[in-house]
Structures are given as structure tokens and as C-alpha cells.
Amino acid sequence: MSVEYLQVAEDEGEEPIELPTEDDGTLLLSTLSAQFPGSSGLKYRNPETKAMRGVRLSEGRLHPPPEIGWGSQIFYCVFPKENKRKSDDNLENSTAKTKRMETKLRCTDLIVLGLPWKTTEQNLREYFETFGEVLMAQVKKDPKTGQSKGFGFIRFASYESQMRVLAQRHMIDGRWCDVKVPNSKVLMARI
């Protein structure tokens, strides 16, 4: 059997990368984020209306547009809003803003709620590495049985990754999980 590919670029004008689809014709979100860390979906330009169209995402799988399929056209990554401000970031020079960044840019441990019982620390790390360098990943377990308690903690090297992760929900091993700043760190993080 032959694997089908579709062309994906980070944005218009960028070099596309060919990504393999699954047997059912869908593209796994994990395949997408492996090449484009933090990407949360796909869009493409409708040749008729010139407008951008979103690609359907369901259960971690991106579905080809019903009318045209993946075809040979180029699809573009969609990022959670924070990420889309490349130009803004170059404009900051005020000391006030810099000062504020210093206090906000510190990474904290993040709690991951709702993990499947089967998810291991290895799985957790692999999932979140698509967002950036992971310094720590742990799954809380029963010390005697080793059974997962269904939640864990992660820590990123960069605050940018942390913000992207906090901005969306996460499909991990088939379950939607929430990432939050843990209560024990909330006071510290909000100062």
C-alpha cells in the first residue's frame, strides 16, 4: 500500500513540507505538530473565494476537505492566537514592558489534569516536546502499585512554550487534558 502525502507550510510564502496521511485519509495532529510545534490546526485558501478555510479537526485527526480532498494544494498551519504576533515582538523597547516581561517570563511547573491511566512519564514528555524543550515530566502514581493517579507535572525551558501549552486543551493518548498553573504555585506566578 502506498502512503499519501499532503503539503503543509507554516505560512503563505514559506517552504512546504510533505506530511504522510493515515490509512483513513486523515492527518494526525501529532504528525503535524511534530513538524510544526504548537500548531493546533490547518487551513487552506479556497481558490474560488480567495478566503481561508479551516480544516475539520476531530479526535486528534485532521480531515481532508470533502470537495477536493488533500489534492496538491498547500495547507497552512494554524497557531493559537498568542503565537501569531511575530511583528509585535520586535517593537518592544520600553523599560516598563521589559520589566514586566522579567517577572512574567519565569517558567513554573504546570499540572496536567485528566491523563489516561495508561499514560506514562515517557508518553507525557513526548507529547509536550512538540511545544518546546521539556525540562521535567512526571506522572503521579501510587507508590505501591505504580498505578497512575491520572495527573502529572511538566516544566518547560522557555516561557513561550509554557504560554502556548496553557492556551489550549490537549489530546493525550485519547483523552482531553487540561494544563494549569498548580495552586501551590499560583501566588508566585501571579506576582
**What is the DSSP pairing of strand 175-180 with strand 27-28?**
unpaired
The residue to which cell 487534558 is assigned? 177
Within residues 35-54, the interface with DNA by CB under 7 A covers none
Selected binder of DNA within 109, 121, 129, 160 (CB under 7 A):
109
Smallest distance, DNA to C-beta of residue 104, A: 17
**E strand intervals along 10-63:** 17-20, 27-28, 41-45, 52-54, 56-58, 61-63
Strand partners, 176: 171
Stretch that binds DNA, among 31-39, 106-114, 124-132, 158-166 (CB under 7 A): 106-114
Selected binder of DNA within 16, 41, 60, 150 (CB under 7 A):
150
Contact 16, 7 (CB under 8 A): yes
**E strand intervals along the chain:** 5-9, 17-20, 27-28, 41-45, 52-54, 56-58, 61-63, 74-78, 110-113, 134-141, 148-156, 170-172, 175-180
**Per CB under 7 A, 103 contacts DNA:** no
**E strand intervals along 59-147:** 61-63, 74-78, 110-113, 134-141
Stretch that binds DNA, among 3-11, 34-42, 97-105, 178-186 (CB under 7 A): 178-186
Selected binder of DNA within 35, 120, 123, 138 (CB under 7 A):
138
Task: Give the amino acid at 67.
Answer: E
The footprint of DNA on this chain (CB under 7 A) covers a number of residues equal to 24
Smallest distance, DNA to C-beta of residue 175, A: 6
- Judged by beta carbon, residue 29 or residue 111, the one nearer DNA is 111
Smallest distance, DNA to C-beta of residue 161, A: 17
Contact 175, 115 (CB under 8 A): yes
DSSP 90: H
Selected binder of DNA within 18, 99, 116, 157 (CB under 7 A):
116
**Per CB under 7 A, 180 contacts DNA:** yes
**Per CB under 7 A, 98 contacts DNA:** no
Selected binder of DNA within 117, 122, 135, 169 (CB under 7 A):
117
**Per CB under 7 A, 144 contacts DNA:** no
